[in-house]
Structure 1
């Protein structure tokens, strides 16, 4: 049965206001960064991924359930992610990698400019709801990873807490995966799905963003100063709430250039002009590109390949080429 997804306004406001009670925890966000970085090493460097997980949770025991690298678009560009499970603390990690190469970047950019189809999602009772519009590339990529990495583990580990993260394109896939987990009531309490992303692009429109924050109240988007990727696809300020126009879900946590301070942005409106939206990121050149790769004083991909040990300092020119390679 197809249901148009509309909630009574009072219920909607109650749910949205409840998100304000989740406090941002910087130390927790740094742990999530380790897990986002752990998605970057190739499967033949699984020891580096495992080092990141051990560093994050030294007193826990996580076992990798799946580490997947698989084609996720018509050009056979790959997406990569992993899931790990702790039976000790009943937790599941889902971590999604960013873009791999310029061919994938081209596919993402072309879809980002034109493809925002309606997103129809099935709930736990088999009903289909319309969840606004979302970026076709991001949703297709998440669906591929869901089928091979997430769906198989769900019946084996009922009511485990989910730790969901990703950087850039991985952030968009992580957000969509977290939403699906909640919408399908994989866990009884939506607060048991914890989502923190880094440099996440806009994966949906205004309607999607409003519904998203109902279902994923434990959600933070970390943005590093003038990182350009959270501003892609571009915001159309004249049509900001219209169907099919990109719009961020809440809540942005906006950091200064050196990660010495942060702003907790609007808790109910994903596009806060007092946060990163006020910066003209395109005027910062290579510096902005570098900031997309640099979170909590680590180059995320390099940090992951080093087993979440300190990443090396790199120049703006090197950052430029890394940015082209790992833009999303």
Structure 2
């Protein structure tokens, strides 16, 4: 009874604060170049955002995992980085069918997603983004990308991939907190590494900065899509308070909101392309964000690890030959872009079954 009461109290508080966030607001500036939503691309990238949750690193590195098929078949990972200390994971590889480098970040792997959501609800803006006057962001999300083993490994892999494949497009994706990291990565590639062909698509991403930051972001990384799903609670967090424009979180554009209309057997899925404000009142902001289950499925693809709430990993001993481990136990698995995956799989199989 106590757990049920606590759950309903939490939802009630969320609903009330969202309702009272109406009033004056500081709007993000409009974007000159309109991001174009592509349904087919979204259904491909969501599979990468799902696959990065895999705990079997051998299957992930060789792209033979249960989530490494269907629309992403033939993908070649160049680098897989695991930050054990902060429970973070990401990979860089090349999708030849997209003619693009794909970067994916794993989402929330907390001991309790409910606790993570409750912490987000009370989070204040607490970091000035470098060289962007008045732009403020979420310290935790910023540090998850910028101050862990993730960033240098990702950038090194992108550099190696471009050296081998040329100046092809870069697509960055992630779900939940992985979406927040993907956004910071896309901005980093443009601002600090002068990449001019960066596309970001995230799923169930929380807000990461204020309206000033959202404006800068929209101008610098215009080819960005945030996909939200029905009543998913995470895109509503940290909260957006119109009464406190300088200190409130604000989404950047463009949102695509997935929701159902109809009743019974006549239910249709709608993919609504929202306006460029970042906080379109006719999209996900038109409903109460109160669903964790809507957060865990996008386009029918399950998001999250096989074992909920853990940072457990599994790795074949033969994979050590492709890895580097630091003093903190964090490690990077790398392969030469020119090395065929077939050769890698054969070598690992031989390591498992020596003569």
TM-score using structure 2 length: 0.68
**Does the alignment pair 1:245 with 2:248?**
yes
Which residue of 184, 190, 193 corresponds with 2:198? 193
CA shift, 1:93, in A, is 1.1
- Structure 2 CA distance for aligned equivalents of residues 261 and 136 of structure 1: 34
Secondary structure, counterpart of 1:256 in structure 2: strand
Output one character per residue of 1:8-46: Cα deviation in whole Å (capped at 9) or x when no partner.
xxxx97x82222xx3211111000111101110012442
Output one character per residue of 1:203-249: Cα deviation in whole Å (capped at 9) or x when no partner.
1111110010111111111111100000011111212x31x421000
Label 1:117 to 1:108 Cα distance change in 2 as closer, same or farther (>3 A). Answer: farther
- Structure 1 CA distance for aligned equivalents of residues 117 and 149 of structure 2: 16
Q: Which residue of 2 aligns with 1:223?
A: 228
Q: Which residue of 2 aligns with 1:113?
A: 123
Secondary structure, counterpart of 2:226 in structure 1: strand
Q: Which residue of 1 aligns with 2:157?
A: 153
Output one character per residue of 1:158-188: Cα deviation in whole Å (capped at 9) or x when no partner.
533111100000000001101111112432x
Contact 1:77-1:100 at 8 Å conserved across structures:
no
- Structure 2 CA distance for aligned equivalents of residues 300 and 110 of structure 1: 21
- Structure 2 CA distance for aligned equivalents of residues 275 and 104 of structure 1: 24
Question: Cα RMSD between the aligned structures?
Answer: 3.0
Aligned length: 270
Q: Which residue of 1 aligns with 2:91?
A: 82
Contact 2:125-2:209 at 8 Å conserved across structures:
no
Higher alpha-carbon Rg: 2
Which residue of 132, 141, 144 corresponds with 1:141? 144
Q: Which residue of 2 aligns with 1:29?
A: 42
Taking the TM superposition and a 5 Å limit, the aligned residue runs for 1:3-18 are: 16-18=31-33
Which gives a bigger RCO, structure 1 or 2 (Cα 8 Å, sep 6+)?
2
Contact 1:205-1:247 at 8 Å conserved across structures:
yes
Contact 2:169-2:198 at 8 Å conserved across structures:
yes
Q: Which residue of 2 aligns with 1:95?
A: 104
CA shift, 1:130, in A, is 4.2
Label 1:94 to 1:238 Cα distance change in 2 as closer, same or farther (>3 A). Answer: same
Which runs of 5 or more residues in structure 2 are unaligned?
A: 1-27, 261-266, 312-355
The structure richer in helix per residue is 1
Label 1:275 to 1:48 Cα distance change in 2 as closer, same or farther (>3 A). Answer: farther
Label 1:202 to 1:88 Cα distance change in 2 as closer, same or farther (>3 A). Answer: closer
CA shift, 1:265, in A, is 0.6
